[in-house]
Amino acid sequence: MSQYRKGYLFEKKTHLKVADLISEYKELKFYGIESRGSKGTADIVFGLYNKKNENRIWIGVQCKRGYVSKPEKYREIESAMSNFGMIMFYSTPAKEKKTEIEFHPNFEEWLGKWVKLKN
C-alpha cells in the first residue's frame, strides 16, 4: 500500500473519530471538510455550533502518521491560532496501540469544556 493511501485512510479514520466524539453531544451541530494533499494548515476543518448557547467555532485537525516533536506541534498550533484564529489539534496513531488515535492537545477534554461554556 502506498504512503499516500495510508495517509488517506488515516485521515478518514480521524474524521470519523472526531465526528463520533462530537456526535455524543446532542446540542452540537457540525460540518467537517477534508482537504487531503493540501499544503494548508489543517487536513480536516470542522465547524461547530452549539444550539443551547449559540456558540460557534471552527477547529482544524492535522493528521500525521509519523513522529512529530512536541515543539513542532506547539509551533503549528500557535501558528494556526495567530494566522487564522483556528484552534488546532494533531492526530497521530497511539504509541501503545497503533489502531487507536491520539489527539494533541486532548480533543475530548477540550470539547467537553467548550460545550459547557456560557454565551
Each domain of the chain, given as residue ranges in start order, spans 3-116
On the question of a cis peptide bond just before residue 71, with omega within 30 degrees of 0, the verdict is no
Percentage above 90 pLDDT, the chain: 66
pLDDT at site 87: 95
Query: In the prediction, which pLDDT does 38 show?
Result: 67
**Spatial contact of 17 and 101, defined as CB atoms under 8 Å apart:** yes
Cross-strand partners of 31 = 47
pTM over 0.85: yes
**Rounded Cα–Cα distance for residues 49 and 26 (Å):** 11
- Which pLDDT value is given to residue 119? 66
Query: What is the architecture of the domain spanning 3-116?
Result: 3-Layer(aba) Sandwich (3.40)
Which residue, chain included where needed, has cell 480536516? 44
